[in-house]
Structure 1
Amino acid sequence: MPVTATAAARPAPATGADALRRQDPQIADVLAAERDRQADTLQLIAAENFTSPAVLAALASPLANKYAEGYPGARHHGGCGLADTAERIAVERARALFGAAHANVQPHSGSSAVLAAYAALLRPGDTVLAMGLRHGGHLTHGSPANFSGRWFDFVGYGVDAESGLIDYEQVRALARRHRPKAIVCGSISYPRHPDYARFRDIADEAGAYLIADAAHPIGLVAGGAAPNPVPYADVVCATTHKVLRGPRGGMVLCGDELAERIDRAVFPFTQGGAQMHTIAAKAVAFGEAATPAFTAYAHQVVDNARVLAAGLAAEGFAVTTGGTDTHLITADPRPLGFDGPAARGLLAAAGLVLDTCALPYGDERGIRLGTAAVTTQGMGQEAMARVAGLFRAALERQPDVREAVRELAHDHPPR
């Protein structure tokens, strides 16, 4: 069919940033400002990282247009052949990366992954033993504001008041007393490795399922810089961002005996259609995480965190547990005269972006930070020692600290 003059004269549709700028300059301005904010400050939030350009490309791919309820080979919509291929690739890469018999890569978030695990293994009213919220437990570990605290009877274990380490004898005693249906190991602010073998032993004694919430350390696991919970836990829930450097999302790993229950708990029980562009981006991230470069990166993340923790202690912060085994650091700034929220505000004004967290045994809040993003920017141990000094300078409101942070960020763009 010949091309008409009208069709030949029609301009090609704009793509990418140009299309957004033309279509919606208001949102384009927001995105540009966020790009500048990330470039001018140090991202020290423990749950954040920079994805690779390949992951971002998958997120912006045509799979964003595809509706694909169900699983590969059993979708509720037509035209899913390529979506099936992308999901199968993601699943196989996740299984190989973590040594899991089964992987479900559809959860939209870490919380969605935990919800699916609970839905597969528990019934409303069941007793669950998990880390107490003040000791580092997540919202999904029994917060009354969350579905977990409303639907299940949570009992919290904690950390030793002196060492800050998990009190495993308390965990065992609580398991014997309450006979939980499940035990959850995992935290949002515990900087040491859980003893998965010990948790497994306690769970077996209590006749409980063991659920590992590995949202924070799973990227370190992928890089061989943290112990793998898969051989010990019945179900492992995780996120695909944080140290793993993938898109925002979740996944669930388990053995063959629970695979069907987990899949049905994700879809159709807790979620509808899978986000296929995100699943494709997860596949890219899993592929990247299987490389020697990522192994080196994961170990550098931990090395950086240890140096930064030691530097903060030298600057007067009370670093919990005396250091870290992971990417994550929690510290009490009160020896310097500030509570957590006040310290966070001063640090943010200097371009050091981080969170606060609960401190055990009291109502105070400390600070929580991580080294995944700054390591992605190519910073090493020398830079971490400098960052520790910038923390003290920011709290002392020293002049030019904001410019020093900006220069450090500009010298280390995300890689």
Structure 2
Amino acid sequence: MNSCLKVSDPEIFALLDQEAQRQKDNIELIASANFTSRAVLEATGSILTNKVAEGYPGRRYFSGCETIDVLENLAIERAKQLFGATYANLEPYTGSQANHAVYLTVLKPGDRILAMDLGHGGHLSHGAKFTMTGKIYDCHFYQVDPDTEYLDYDRILSQAKEIRPKLIIAGASSYPRTIDFQRFREIADEVGAYLLADIAHICGLVAAGLHPSPIPHAHFVTMSTQKTLRGPRSGMILLGEHSAPEFARKIDSAVFPGVQGAVHVHAIAAKAVMLKEAMSASFGSYQRQNLENSRILAEELMERGFRLVSGGTDNHLMLLDLTEQGITGKEAEERLASVRITVNKNLLPYDSQKPTVCSGIRVGTSAITTRGFGAQEMHSIAELINKMLSSEPTVNTIAKVQDEVSRLCRLHPHIDSIYEQDGDRFARKSEYQLHN
């Protein structure tokens, strides 16, 4: 596949080969990571990279976009069908830029935003003080309940009444529980705010009907497409039937020319492929297995003495509090990386550690589920994590863990094998794992 690259730039080819080997030999537990299909990769690296296009179908600034218009319209219709939306903009380069487009649509500099605290599960683009959002807008943050570590909607309502935000953001990058979008809309309506639902992490679960959809409730819905949707690294914006008609025009203008320039046509093609895949029966099977794997892994870790934030998970990710183990998230990340298990250090609610250190780690199951890992592998992974983090691992322990990681990776080969299997076969395999 990379023969031309190997000849023209062997240095880059070698680095790509090195990364491919890393992905093949590692157990990927970073919650925002996943593996795309070969079809998505093919669209992403296609000749569409050669085409410059600005604007929207039927309203381009350059000629020669007849095919591109058909392609983008097809992608838009697929997005609307999959999520039950009345409007879709697939041009944002990332989920963060999708958020910025919403801000540009309804906010002016200095307007107030109420969003989830970064240390409690929120995202950088939701107003962290050192980001563009935090510098332009007056950002305030809600937190999880200190006892349950769940969102306290009554407390969020009280906070919203006090600060009177113009925009409330419902969404997270490390919150392991179901988000009540209807309750958020009730809060927004009570204080006269717009509601943005950022479903970057859970959009695949929403698409499969395994998490309540924000489409009937939020004024705006944004997402990135590379996580649970298994698409290219890109973004989308959706509107539901209750959204004001003028929002569609304003969002279009906010995306282009508001926050970005020419269309990444190759990424839109890849998103179209992703959306078609997400409409398949096998995608639903995959997401059910994803949730089942997450549930089992959480239970197995708790049985081994690990404390999970909020006591478990409702989605594809969980947060491990390593305070009782006496190690930081940074140290845990490094220990696991040494045996080819990839996680990320993560702040916990009310964390006393610095963001560069953290008291916990975030663990997700989306990527390993794509590889075909099932219930038995969740037991094995929990035991490997326990061996590496419950106490200082010996040289012998590290060697044994590395051997087991190699065995599991051989048992469930890397994406080359996943790409070659058809969707029906994956669906049958997933259904078998769910019921055995």
Q: Indicate if the aligned counterparts of 1:49 and 1:242 stay in contact, CA closer than 8 A.
A: yes
Partner of 1:201: 186
Indicate which of 201, 211, 214 corresponds to 1:216. Answer: 201
Q: Indicate if the aligned counterparts of 1:390 and 1:401 stay in contact, CA closer than 8 A.
A: yes
Q: Indicate if the aligned counterparts of 1:104 and 1:263 stay in contact, CA closer than 8 A.
A: yes
Task: Please tell me whether residue 400 in structure 1 is matched to residue 384 in structure 2.
Answer: no
Partner of 1:337: 326
Indicate which of 51, 61, 69 corresponds to 1:66. Answer: 51
CA distance in 1 between counterparts of 2:379 and 2:15 reads 33
CA distance in 1 between counterparts of 2:294 and 2:100 reads 30
Task: Please tell me whether residue 250 in structure 1 is matched to residue 235 in structure 2.
Answer: yes
CA distance in 1 between counterparts of 2:145 and 2:91 reads 37
TM-score (norm 1): 0.95
CA distance in 2 between counterparts of 1:107 and 1:245 reads 17
Cα deviation per residue 1:239-286 (whole Å; 9 max; x = unaligned)?
Answer: 111010000000000144411111110001101001000100000000
Matched AA of 1:282:
K
Task: Please tell me whether residue 327 in structure 1 is matched to residue 335 in structure 2.
Answer: no
Distance apart, 1:357 and its partner CA: 1.2
Task: Please tell me whether residue 78 in structure 1 is matched to residue 63 in structure 2.
Answer: yes
- Kindly, what percent of the aligned residue pairs are identical? 46
Cα deviation per residue 1:163-211 (whole Å; 9 max; x = unaligned)?
Answer: 1101111110011111110100011110111111110100000000000
Indicate which of 367, 373, 382 corresponds to 1:379. Answer: 373
TM-score (norm 2): 0.90
Secondary structure of the residue aligned to 1:32 is: helix
Indicate which of 326, 331, 335 corresponds to 1:346. Answer: 335
Distance apart, 1:394 and its partner CA: 2.1
CA distance in 2 between counterparts of 1:410 and 1:225 reads 30
Matched AA of 2:127:
G
Partner of 2:250: 261
CA distance in 2 between counterparts of 1:47 and 1:168 reads 26
Partner of 1:106: 91
Matched AA of 2:113:
V
Partner of 2:432: none
Partner of 1:94: 79
CA distance in 2 between counterparts of 1:357 and 1:270 reads 29
Distance apart, 1:363 and its partner CA: 2.0
Matches within 5 A, 1:119-198: 119-198=104-183
Partner of 1:5: none
Secondary structure of the residue aligned to 2:4 is: helix
Q: Indicate if the aligned counterparts of 1:223 and 1:297 stay in contact, CA closer than 8 A.
A: no
Partner of 1:30: 15
CA distance in 2 between counterparts of 1:209 and 1:169 reads 18
Secondary structure of the residue aligned to 1:226 is: coil
Cα deviation per residue 1:121-169 (whole Å; 9 max; x = unaligned)?
Answer: 1111000110111111111111121111001111110001111101111
Task: Please tell me whether residue 307 in structure 1 is matched to residue 296 in structure 2.
Answer: yes
Secondary structure of the residue aligned to 1:197 is: helix
Cα deviation per residue 1:313-359 (whole Å; 9 max; x = unaligned)?
Answer: 11222101111111011111222221111111101111110111111
Q: Indicate if the aligned counterparts of 1:308 and 1:388 stay in contact, CA closer than 8 A.
A: yes
Distance apart, 1:362 and its partner CA: 2.8
Distance apart, 1:31 and its partner CA: 0.2
CA distance in 2 between counterparts of 1:227 and 1:120 reads 25
Cα deviation per residue 1:98-125 (whole Å; 9 max; x = unaligned)?
Answer: 0011000011111111001111111110
The runs of 5 or more residues in structure 2 that have no matched partner are 419-436
RMSD: 1.0
CA distance in 1 between counterparts of 2:351 and 2:336 reads 23
Partner of 2:430: none
Indicate which of 286, 290, 299 corresponds to 2:275. Answer: 286
Matches within 5 A, 1:37-56: 37-56=22-41
Cα deviation per residue 1:76-98 (whole Å; 9 max; x = unaligned)?
Answer: 11111111111111100000000
CA distance in 1 between counterparts of 2:285 and 2:94 reads 26
Distance apart, 1:212 and its partner CA: 0.4
Partner of 2:226: 241
CA distance in 2 between counterparts of 1:42 and 1:370 reads 11
